[in-house]
Structure 1
């Protein structure tokens, strides 16, 4: 019965849950180097410019917070989708470019895989317009 209601709710319900999940992921991932640069560098390698890492971390917290606050309306879900896709695509691109060049530690492909998973999840929850086409 619950699965029938969930199916009737469609992708918009899934998009709202996805926005919250991705928002939490971005807030926690961004907060990590702000709370403990030492443990972050232990996993992802030493950073030459900690201020730059802190800047990126702050932007991730802001993006995640924006996703968490987007709400369940269609406009809120679309806002969360844009923030989520933009964030995930940017981080994935950086991972794909700089890991092969040896500028980022081998642990970054783990992040890249997660960013690719977020992109796939957002793609799968695209909403249909009134004419039946996907947005």
Structure 2
């Protein structure tokens, strides 16, 4: 029986871990805020028609933040965590920029700036990780039992 190599997560560099912690704290705080006190959240961001929807989005943002915070504190910012972080920031920034002039409070443009800083940081962290990784050898070619026995395919 063939042994399978166990994949171990790489230790994150300080930039990625720090970004994950900072974004995690930011997202947990802003995500939990409308759940805990919707009235003060609306005082800053403007009135909302659907309180349940604001709380639902807040819960999702808080879960993303908790995931990023945990990954950052454990120094385990895998490519998947980096994609979650940058993708979440880009999605929220897009909503802020597209809807702020028309439908939502201009205060969301401040959030777009913060998201832009996070996106820039994640791009830099990804570039550093890519550079540190260096060139990778091609994956081993799989040989089926039929190929090994010389059967035509």
TM range (shorter): 0.7 to 0.9
List runs of 5+ in structure 1 lacking aligned partners: 1-10
Match of 2:115 in 1: 115
More helix by share: 1
Q: How does 1:23-102 map to 2 (within 5 A)?
A: 23-70=24-71, 71-73=74-76, 76-100=77-101, 102=102
| Structure-2 separation of matches of 1:68 and 1:105 | 28
* Other structure's SS at 1:18 match: helix
Q: Is the 8 A contact 1:19 1:68 kept in 2?
A: yes
List runs of 5+ in structure 2 lacking aligned partners: 1-11, 137-153
Q: Is the 8 A contact 1:67 1:84 kept in 2?
A: yes
CA drift of 1:77 comes to 3.5
Off by >6 Å, runs of 4+ in structure 1? none
CA drift of 1:69 comes to 1.8
| Structure-1 separation of matches of 2:70 and 2:83 | 14
Equivalent residue pairs, number: 119
Match of 1:18 in 2: 19
**TM-score relative to the length of structure 1:** 0.82
- Give the greater-gyration-radius structure (CA): 2
